[in-house]
Amino acid sequence: MKPLLAFFHNIKKTLFFSTALLLTACVSSPQLSVPEAITHNNSSYYLISQQDLGSVARYFYVPKGESAEHWHSAIELLQDRNWQQRTLADRIALRKRVYQNTGVTHFDLYPHNNELVAFVIYEPTEQNKDWQVNVARGKDLPFCGFVQYQYSLKIAKNKKLMNMKKEKIIKYLQKYVVNKEIQNLSNSHFSWNCKK
């Protein structure tokens, strides 16, 4: 009698886990509809990597001939499915905290027309010899969560930059890269959507 009860108990467990797996598969997360290529500043960027961690998905684009490890300019689409229900203000406060805790000092994040506008300037390091500027625009999209478009540009230390003090380089990058790219992003149509 005991072996028969154990047999039925195992069948119940198997049915329970099979049902749970089936329900999980049926309730899939929304997936950002991403193109294979994106045009930015009259240049084409091609999808070379994507990573879906469940709550967040990332899509990385570079020009032909560049890679995820070696690039001069890149586009990243980020989809935060926003399971934590973060507001724009929450998101800005969190990023400011992260930047301050990691020693990043040249950044700004602010809301504009219910969207996030942001830039970060990274100084050269031992691992990354170039200056790097990231400019982003993001917003909440129906059935998607929070979606962000980020343009990144690496600027080599050329003769002109080598002769400038750090503060002057920051102002130069803000004027000729950040301001221009924020204007480009604000003028562009945010046409992303999600599929189930």
Give the mean model confidence (pLDDT) for residues 90-108. Answer: 96
**What CATH code is carried by the domain that includes residue 119?**
3.40.1000
Beta-bridge partner residues of 32? 194
Q: Supply the range of the domain harboring residue 83.
A: 3-195
Distance, in Å, from the CA atom of 189 to the CA atom of 179, rounded to the nearest integer, reads 18
Distance, in Å, from the CA atom of 186 to the CA atom of 146, rounded to the nearest integer, reads 17
Confidence at residue 158, expressed as pLDDT on a 0 to 100 scale: 82
User: How does residue 12 score in pLDDT terms, banded at 50, 70 and 90?
Assistant: low
pTM: 0.83
What length does the chain have? 196
Per the structure, the count of domains in the chain is: 1
pLDDT tens, position by position, 135-180: 999 999 999 999 999 999 999 988 778 889 999 999 999 999 999 9
pLDDT tens, position by position, 50-95: 999 999 999 999 999 999 999 999 999 999 999 999 999 999 999 9
- C-alpha distances (whole Å) from 110 to each of 62, 91, 115, 173 are 27, 10, 8, 19
